Structure 1
Amino acid sequence: MSNVITYKTYSARVEYDDEDGILFGQIAGIRDGVGFHAGSVEELRTAFHEAVDDYLETCARIGKEPQKPYSGKVMFRVSPEIHRKAAIAAELAGKSLNQWAEDALTKAVHEVRP
């Protein structure tokens, strides 16, 4: 069972608050904090769609560009040992380190969100 919903290229992780008896979420991948909540799954789906639409409408109204998709450029640091092992694994697989890393990240993403 997935607890991620998607609408118009935006996604959110859904959680349950037992104390308040509600489902809630926040749009992922944007700097603006846009949340939503509801008492049932169907209401939550509607609230999520409304939150995304409201975010896009608000951005248009105030002349702000909505958060855009990621550029595809990723910079991160790893230990020298992991760097060495990854470079060797890529070479043995007949791939560039970029190709190998993209394959590894793609596999990891699909394990989290099929």
Structure 2
Amino acid sequence: MNNTLKIDGHVAVITFDPEIEMFRGEFVGLNGGADFYAYSVEDLKKEGAISLAVFLDECRNDGIEPYKTFSGKVTTRLTPERHQALAVTAQAHGVSINELLNEGVDLVIEKHS
């Protein structure tokens, strides 16, 4: 499991790089790379804020949208057994497979937020 840190309203995934013995942060949901490194959590927050500000400023200067856009469509592959169980469960509850999957995704997001 990855650890996350919220910096100026943006989520960054935090890992530890044992080769350089530093924490590494990488913002998610951005349209490009905005990673940062530090030896302590306090410095990680500072470096993250700087990295984010530089990234957003560069996007603004270059007329680039800084955030990824999502279409709302996801393709997934299920085993035939899972697909059947999903279809039966959805039908038994009077909802579509799509509605059931959305409910499940909401639960996972809530659990990990």
- State the TM-score, normalized to the length of structure 2: 0.79
Within 5 Å, give how 1:1-114 maps onto structure 2.
3-111=3-111, 113-114=112-113
Deviation for aligned residue 1:53 = 1.7
Shift of 1:102: 1.1
What secondary structure sits across from 1:64 in the alignment?
Answer: coil
For 2:50, give the aligned amino acid: E
Alpha-carbon distance in 2 for matches of 1:68, 1:90: 31
- Long gaps (5+) in structure 2: none
User: What secondary structure is seen at the aligned counterpart in 2 of 1:72?
Assistant: coil
Partner SS state of residue 30, structure 2: coil
Quick one: percent identity of the two aligned structures? 29
Structure 1 residue 60 displacement after superposition: 0.7
Q: How many residues align?
A: 112
Instruction: Assess, with a 3 A threshold, how the Cα gap between structure 1 residues 55 and 44 changes in structure 2: closer, same or farther.
Output: same
Distance change in 2, residues 1:29/1:84 (3 Å): same
The alpha carbon displacement at 1:69 in A equals: 4.9
CA RMSD, Structure 1 to Structure 2 (Å): 2.3
| CA displacement at 1:57 relative to structure 2 | 0.7
Gaps of 5+ in 1: none
Q: TM-score, normalised by structure 1?
A: 0.79
The question of whether the paired residues in 1 share the 8 Å contact of 2:26 and 2:34 is answered with yes
